[in-house]
Structure 1
Amino acid sequence: MRIRTHMAVSVDGYIASPDGLPTILTAPDFESGLSHGLPEFIAGCGAVVMGRNTFAPAVGSSHWPWPNLRVFVLTSQPLPEGTPADVVSAADPAELLRLMREADFTGDVHLVGGQQTIQAFRDIDALDELGVVVMPVLLGDGLRLTPDKSTTTPLQLTGTRTFPDGSVEHVYTPVRGQN
């Protein structure tokens, strides 16, 4: 089991606009769950992990975004009413990692979500692959990929591909023991 991201980021390093709109939505040809390499990425995943802010909007929506995937939520708050019974949560990232390792699924874990959740897994050295799709847009402001004053993490490029809209996917693995 590896914990991996596949997320959009603007050329200037933002994962969301100032009003919270994910950067991927700047792509005119974006199709939810179908474009920018997501189907191939998800094919190797058996679970998703995210923070409460990413999870909460899915509860009660007409379409469950993670069919056939185990769902884990990093949160210190109770899960919203209507949360499916098989969703697992924990307040501590190390505890949630332990629960993921003990869970019954095959494949990797897609780390969905924002800056805080990614940082939480970086802090416990559990982020195995950072996949970013660099969108051809400068947002100028918004939510950055990393929080201010986060630690330096050396990365090794392991893959690159280009999409028809000019966005470019870069896949990195953290270089362990050098931060």
Structure 2
Amino acid sequence: MKIKTYLAVSIDGYITTQEGWPVQLSMPAFTGRTSYGLPEFLADCRGAVMGRTTFLPALEAPEWPWPGLRVFVLTSSPLPEGTPAEVVSAPDPAELRKLMEEADLGGDVHLVGGQRTLDAFLSIGALDQLGVLTVPRFVGSGVRLTADGSPFRRFELRSSRTFPDGCLEQVYLPAA
């Protein structure tokens, strides 16, 4: 099981706009799970892990955003009523990783969400692959990919490709 991410980021370093929308929504060619290499990325995923902030809006969504995936939530608060019974939560990334391993998913886990969840898994050495879709937009403000004061980390480029609209996919592995 690998924990891997596929995050969209603006060229000025933001993963959301100032209104809180994911930056990939600013691209006319974005059509959700069928866009920008996501089908290939998701093909091996059997689980999704995220923080509470990313998870909560899914409970009110007209369609469950992670069909067919086991969902794991990093949170120290109880999950609200209406949470599907198969959703697993834990307050600690190491504990949540152990629960993912014990679930024997038969595939990888997609780390969905923001900088705090990404940083939590990076801090315990549990991110196996960092996928970044660079969107050719300046958004000026919003949530940055990394928080101020994040530790220095090295990555090695595994692959890259450019889409016709200028989006650039880069896949990195944590460097030793």
Superposition TM-score, scaled by structure 1 size: 0.96
Q: CA deviation at 1:104?
A: 2.9
Conserved 8 A contact 1:60-1:82: no
Q: Report matched runs for 1:135-146 at 5 Å.
A: 135-146=135-146
Secondary structure of 1:36 counterpart: coil
Name 2:126's counterpart in structure 1: 126
* 1:45-103 alpha-carbon deviations (Å, 9 max, x no partner): 11000001101111142201111111000001111211110100000111001101100
Name 2:86's counterpart in structure 1: 86
Task: Read off the aligned partner of 2:100 and give its amino acid letter.
Answer: M
* 1:89-139 alpha-carbon deviations (Å, 9 max, x no partner): 000111001101100311111000000000000111111111000001011
Distance 1:15 1:85 in 2: 30
Distance 1:66 1:11 in 2: 27
Distance 2:77 2:122 in 1: 21
Task: Read off the aligned partner of 1:27 and give its amino acid letter.
Answer: M
What is the root-mean-square deviation of aligned Cα atoms in Å? Answer: 0.9
Count residues in correspondence. 176
Secondary structure of 2:7 counterpart: strand
Query: Displaced runs of 4+ in structure 1, greater than 3 A?
Result: none
* 1:5-41 alpha-carbon deviations (Å, 9 max, x no partner): 1010001111011221111111011101111111111
Conserved 8 A contact 1:59-1:80: no
Superposition TM-score, scaled by structure 2 size: 0.97
Distance 2:53 2:107 in 1: 24
Q: Give unmatched runs, 5+ long, in structure 1.
A: none
% of aligned pairs identical?
Answer: 59
Task: Read off the aligned partner of 2:101 and give its amino acid letter.
Answer: R
Name 2:97's counterpart in structure 1: 97
